[in-house]
A = this chain, B = another copy of it.
Amino acid sequence: MITVLAGGVGAARLLAGLVQVVEPASITAVVNVGDDLELHGLAISPDLDTITYTLAGAINPTTGWGLVDESWQAMDTLHRYGGATWFGLGDRDLGTHLFRTQRRADGATLAEVSAEITAGWGLRLRLLPVTNDRLRTMLTIVDEPGDPPIEVTFQEYFVQRQHDVPVTAVRLEGVEAALPAPGVIEAIREGDVVVIAPSNPIVSVGPVLAVSGIGEAVAERRHQVVAVSPIIAGSALKGPADRLLRELGHDVSVVGVARLYAAVAGTLVIDEADADLASQVEDCGVRCVVAPTVMRDPRAAADLAHVVLGST
């Protein structure tokens, strides 16, 4: 049994590697929902969907999110009325949100709906939202120098502002009341390996570890926990992890990542580009494995999956 703590794109790629090297039904992904949003009345779960679409082989290769063979007719109509189009929802993708929203209104939990959606794509791995409760990653940002700081939702930061603003604080709205979804704690306790995917440590993995009991459960399995660094040679392959780490006072390097994860992960996989930092990683009390970590294609993802599974 493999359990993966997951954000969006980086986690999706690693999972696409893992399903090539182990039986997909033996994998449980515990997925961040701090990026979720309600827009146009719809319940949208970007990380769950990015993983689902990637594993279904249906991810849009151009954007890295949403579905392939997508059309944008609904957005065109919305644009006609001056509606909010900053969060692009393709027509094919909209069907997922319509389904999720209706099922939630019918009383299904997010975990139940996620199982229905993955089944719809014929996936055999188990995709669990970290919680069925409302959890929202809120960022305090400054839009223009001199502006007073304001707090915005993750997608208002990430998509609407293209994460091109300084962040001074991150707050997890709802985290005090959120409970792990059924099966999450068990998956962490029973996983032969618990993987922390190369996702953003602050806004993707952070919300997963912050839900009641999860950080503790992962720490208890520390010797079976393998994290993959999302930072390579001092920067993130994608997204704002590097800038965010720096702005929030962390070292933007595999050593900074090792410090962040030292309490929960016994092993950190770092890229070959950072081989010279391996001993500093180990100085944090974390075993260090050096390997190619850039998942350029499914083959590279499978190779990294092999490394991760062989690291405990």
A5: interface (CB < 8 Å):
no
A80: interface (CB < 8 Å):
yes
Indicate how many identical chains form the complex. 2
Q: A71-B73, A73-B92, A94-B74 are in contact. Are A120 and B80 (CB under 8 A)?
A: yes
Which segment of A97-105, A174-182, A212-220, A239-247 sits at the interface?
A97-105
Q: Which of B71, B77, B89, B98 contacts A41 (CB 8 A)?
A: B98
Q: A76-B95, A92-B77 are in contact. Are A83 and B71 (CB under 8 A)?
A: no
Query: Is chain A's binding surface mostly helix, strand, loop or mixed?
Result: helix
Q: Which residues of B contact A86 (CB under 8 A)?
A: none
Q: Which of B42, B80, B99, B121 contacts A95 (CB 8 A)?
A: B80
Task: Determine which residue in A71, A73, A92 has the highest number of CB atoms from chain B within 10 A of its CB, and name it.
Answer: A73
Q: Which residues of B contact A77 (CB under 8 A)?
A: 67, 92-96, 98-99
A75: interface (CB < 8 Å):
yes
Size bracket of the A interface: 35 or more
Q: Which of B70, B90, B94, B116 contacts A81 (CB 8 A)?
A: B116
When the two chains form their complex, are residues A99 and B73 in contact, meaning their CB atoms are under 8 A apart? no
Closest to A43 in B: B41
When the two chains form their complex, are residues B92 and A94 in contact, meaning their CB atoms are under 8 A apart? no
Complex Cα gap A39–B201 (Å): 37
